[in-house]
Structure 1
Amino acid sequence: MKHTFIRPAVLALALGLSLTGCKDPLDIAPQQGIDVSVALNTPEKVGGAVVGMYAKLDDPRLYGTDLILVPELIGPENYIRWDGTFTNYRQIATRSSFTSLNTTAAGIWQRAYEDINQANLVLSALPVVTNADLKAQYEGEARFVRGLLYFDLVRLYGQQYQPGTANAQLGVPITLAANTTVDQATVKLPRATVAQVYTQVINDLTIAMQKLPESNGTRATTYAAEALLARVYLQQSNFADARTAADDVITHSGKSLAGSVAAIFANRNGSETLFELQQNDQNNAGTSNDGLATYFASDGGVGRGDVRILPAFSTQYEDSDARGTDSLAASATRKLIYLGDGARPGRLRSIKYRTYGQNIPIIRLAEMYLIRAEADVRAGNTADALADVNRIRTRSGATPLTTVTLEDVLHERQLELAFEGFHIYDLKRTNAVIVPAAGTTPAVNANDPKLILPIPQHDINLNELLVQNPGF
């Protein structure tokens, strides 16, 4: 019997990831495997594999769509609602008929492990890179991508990290070896614990910080890795280390808040983003059945209008706050939430995802200010926390606060980072109760086992070491 959470990556390589010198990928023997010593035997080929590793992040099952959309759908009550017809997303949003056969849960798992294997291939091939600086950069980039993906996997398929406990609850399998043959890819691995996965993520990102340059074009930098590490520490409720990392990024990265949140999403690689996915009109996650604009937008001929923003959330913004709504169409609004006039018109939509070819911000400086503010307010340093929260509010025209509480900071995170994939993770780490909208599913604790994804049934069937999540 075999497990499959790595095997697709091997097959993808065998079918021609442009990592070999073969004219026809079907000439590779054996056809289900590839000798990494042949595929990545020059610095140029390793560099090409690094580029491919970033390109995979834009896959619709990863950050091109699902790693941002699915966390928003998991706990959507009084926030957003799924209006679309795709049953895989509806099952996640409504927790109705949600089984281990869900294709979205299976797709995220498969594509994430494919890119993890790509990172492992890069790491295994580093000895051929003779330039010391380039070798360090490639190692840092591979560890950044691997740490990023394991962090998302453990949050989606495992229960929340609980500070002060052993965190022996099941996470996801950890594989650190490059799989280049079917025999290697079919080695059965059990699920590691949540504690083990977090240890691996922190180790990868710590080394990535050390190896990556401060400037790296549109690719990962030392400050992108440190910012992601701040996010990881926050999810662990390790507020002291989260603050230290966020503060260093704010102080030394050279990044600054953009003039508006809209500008971050409308422009490319601006002053605020620490890491963003590169897309364009020709190369993007999708324009009909995939892509964030496809699901979020209802703007003329753009978008399916599948994700509706509920008034219960939009009315939490002040009238002066540019992140809120004036109930005008996208072509007329000066706000981030607009009234759709395309598919499924007359409902509120987010302008953060308006065009198919736009870049997708993954880590931005505003998050670092809010991490620092939360750590400060928890430590009793309300003066500095207030200053950081008001930086964010003033940028969007919201009235500055005169005092600040933990609840204020958490609320500001929801207002600022809405629709960017943070919602359920904040609810989980604060052990919140998800309040239902009228007439929908009953209230549920954010750490209810129903609010994690199932291990794909296909993998369970092929690997008896994989234990399924409760309820599936």
Structure 2
Amino acid sequence: MKKSINFLIALFVFVAIVSCEKELDLEPRQSIGIDAATSTPENINAILLAAYDIGRNTSPDNLAPIYNGNYSGEINVVSELLGNTDQVSWNGTFDNLRDVFNKALVNNNTSAVNIYADSYSITGHVNTVLDNLDKFDDTQERNRVEGEAKFLRGLVYFDMVKLYGLPYNPGGSNSQLGVPLTLTPPSVDIRIGRNTVEEVYAQVISDLTDSFNKLPDTNGERADKYAAQAILARVYLQQGNYAAARDAAHNVLLNSGHLLTSTYAAAFNTDDNSVETVFSWIVTNQEGTNLSNIHYATEALGGRGGDIAITQAYLDKFDSVDDDRRNFTYPGEGVSTGLLLSSKHARQFANATPVRIAEMHLIRAECNFRLGTSVGSTPLTEINALRARSSAPALTSLTLDLILNERELELAFEGFTLHDYKRTQRNIGGLSYDDNRLVFPIPQSARDRNPLLEQNPGYN
């Protein structure tokens, strides 16, 4: 069962942390010295817990900033809107998301500001944890805490560099600007410029590798070693390091214990993580918000009525009308009448942003195909296993285009579209994959506080 987070300790510590991007205006009775806040293993664990909570859009009792919820669906939503032109439609009223879909962002776009600020709030908490590992006498507990902290930091910087920096160029120097790497506890005095994309990727790989080595095989609802390795597989794939991506995905498939659910629908909208879920962000009716549900679902199911709907261009990508993935939809009603909506985000309090084992199959299949190898399975067998689960007819042969199409069919509306098109250097509508309009601006508010932050082209 989902476990409700106890904030009594988390709140005690959390209100003391000075975020890199947000300042807390608290009464003295709520204040606590940083030395006391980091004095015990229990307090350090509470700071780590608060980092998870920021990612899933949680604020206890209005004593902390209201976080946007990067991993409650915000990053997924903007990645789909920025990466799509004709496979989804935007029907909502939020100017910030409309501008993302229209590839017409400005330097104070609310999504760009919130994702940036919340990311550094998470890393600020994580860096405080990592700076106080000496509080742990128990080696096993210390390793777990360090592993979880580095998992979160690696994940956050990976998602940030994909949104705020130009794409990684396999074989290039990757000296294009990424995001600032802050690896120390929060301080209002920190003023650093942006690191290169290469430097950010190196830090991400270092953090996730350490996380894999430190974390246990299973870790309840928190990140375990295979969650870290699954994100590593994503990172290597984004870099075009196909051998490393294949091997990481293969190890997750071989040893994590996660399997494909018997049906496609069973992988989504469950009270608990399914056997297919390697990691997700816990949402309950008391804590957290599933932002994907808000923007994809009807009002009756907890959403806004279909801000994001499916178009015929997406349906046309299927080669069979019997494919369960094609039919995993429902018609809108009320304000969304006439729209076709995805069933992936149809439950208001479903866990958010799952890392699914199906993605590992797709990574291994693509990398095996590119390398001419058959580690774990032949690419054709692997792709057909996914298709069989969805009642799609088996393919008799494969091309790279077919494999990439299978990724779109399997992982649609889960936040992959923008980054898959960039790494495979495909145009997004009439824009080249490396067009500046497909990169988020560095928020002007951050630049006002830190003049060392150089803006992305087109946003000054």
TM-score (norm 2): 0.90
**Per the alignment, in what secondary structure is the counterpart of residue 71 of structure 2?**
coil
Task: Give 1:225's match in structure 2, choosing from 225, 228, 234.
Answer: 228
What does residue 245 of structure 2 align with?
A: 242
What does residue 91 of structure 2 align with?
A: 83
One-letter amino acid matched to 1:466 = L
- Residue by residue, what CA displacement relative to the aligned partner does 1:366-399 show, whole Å, maximum 9, x if unpaired? 0000000010111124770111111111111111
Say whether residues 1:204 and 2:207 are aligned partners.
Answer: yes
Q: Distance in 2 between matches of 1:269 and 1:300?
A: 23
Say whether residues 1:393 and 2:384 are aligned partners.
Answer: no
**Per the alignment, in what secondary structure is the counterpart of residue 219 of structure 1?**
coil
8 Å contact from structure 1 (residues 302, 342) kept in 2 = no
Q: Distance in 2 between matches of 1:188 and 1:62?
A: 24
| Match runs of 1:68-467 below 5 Å | 68-96=76-104, 98-179=105-186, 184-267=187-270, 268-285=272-289, 291-298=291-298, 300=300, 302-304=302-304, 305-317=306-318, 318-325=320-327, 336-381=328-373, 384-435=378-429, 443-467=430-454
Choose 234-243 or 77-86, whichever is displaced more: 77-86
Q: Distance in 1 between matches of 2:242 and 2:154?
A: 20
8 Å contact from structure 2 (residues 82, 438) kept in 1 = yes
- Residue by residue, what CA displacement relative to the aligned partner does 1:129-185 show, whole Å, maximum 9, x if unpaired? 111100000000000000000000000000000011110000000000012xxxx22
Q: Distance in 2 between matches of 1:15 and 1:250?
A: 47
**Per the alignment, in what secondary structure is the counterpart of residue 352 of structure 1?**
helix
User: Runs (4+) of structure 1 moved beyond 6 Å?
Assistant: none
Q: Distance in 2 between matches of 1:193 and 1:66?
A: 25
Q: CA deviation at 1:299?
A: 5.7
Q: Distance in 1 between matches of 2:54 and 2:126?
A: 11
Choose 130-139 or 302-311, whichever is displaced more: 302-311
8 Å contact from structure 1 (residues 39, 45) kept in 2 = yes
- Residue by residue, what CA displacement relative to the aligned partner does 1:253-308 show, whole Å, maximum 9, x if unpaired? 1111012232121222111111001011222226xxxx211110126353211001
Structure 1 pair 161–311 and aligned structure 2 pair: CA distance change class (3 A):
same
8 Å contact from structure 2 (residues 80, 418) kept in 1 = yes
Say whether residues 1:8 and 2:21 are aligned partners.
Answer: yes
**Per the alignment, in what secondary structure is the counterpart of residue 336 of structure 2?**
coil
One-letter amino acid matched to 1:51 = L
Q: Distance in 1 between matches of 2:129 and 2:96?
A: 33
What does residue 330 of structure 1 align with?
A: none
8 Å contact from structure 1 (residues 266, 358) kept in 2 = yes
Choose 387-396 or 232-241, whichever is displaced more: 387-396
One-letter amino acid matched to 1:295 = H
Q: Distance in 1 between matches of 2:49 and 2:454?
A: 34
One-letter amino acid matched to 2:434 = N
8 Å contact from structure 2 (residues 20, 124) kept in 1 = no
Q: Distance in 2 between matches of 1:394 and 1:94?
A: 36
Task: Give 2:37's match in structure 1, choosing from 36, 39, 43.
Answer: 39
8 Å contact from structure 2 (residues 317, 405) kept in 1 = no
Q: Distance in 1 between matches of 2:121 and 2:339?
A: 37
Choose 135-144 or 56-65, whichever is displaced more: 56-65
Specify every segment of 5 or more residues in structure 1 that has no aligned partner in the other structure, as ranges: 17-21, 29-33, 326-335, 436-442
Structure 1 pair 372–143 and aligned structure 2 pair: CA distance change class (3 A):
same
Q: Distance in 2 between matches of 1:446 and 1:340?
A: 32
* Superposed CA RMSD: 1.7
Q: Distance in 2 between matches of 1:178 and 1:371?
A: 35
Q: CA deviation at 1:103?
A: 1.1
Q: Distance in 2 between matches of 1:71 and 1:422?
A: 7
Q: CA deviation at 1:445?
A: 1.2
Identical aligned residues as a percent: 39
Q: CA deviation at 1:361?
A: 3.9
**Per the alignment, in what secondary structure is the counterpart of residue 303 of structure 1?**
coil
**Per the alignment, in what secondary structure is the counterpart of residue 444 of structure 1?**
coil
Q: Distance in 1 between matches of 2:123 and 2:74?
A: 17
What does residue 63 of structure 2 align with?
A: none
8 Å contact from structure 2 (residues 161, 197) kept in 1 = yes
**Per the alignment, in what secondary structure is the counterpart of residue 401 of structure 1?**
coil
Q: Distance in 1 between matches of 2:109 and 2:276?
A: 36
**Per the alignment, in what secondary structure is the counterpart of residue 355 of structure 2?**
strand
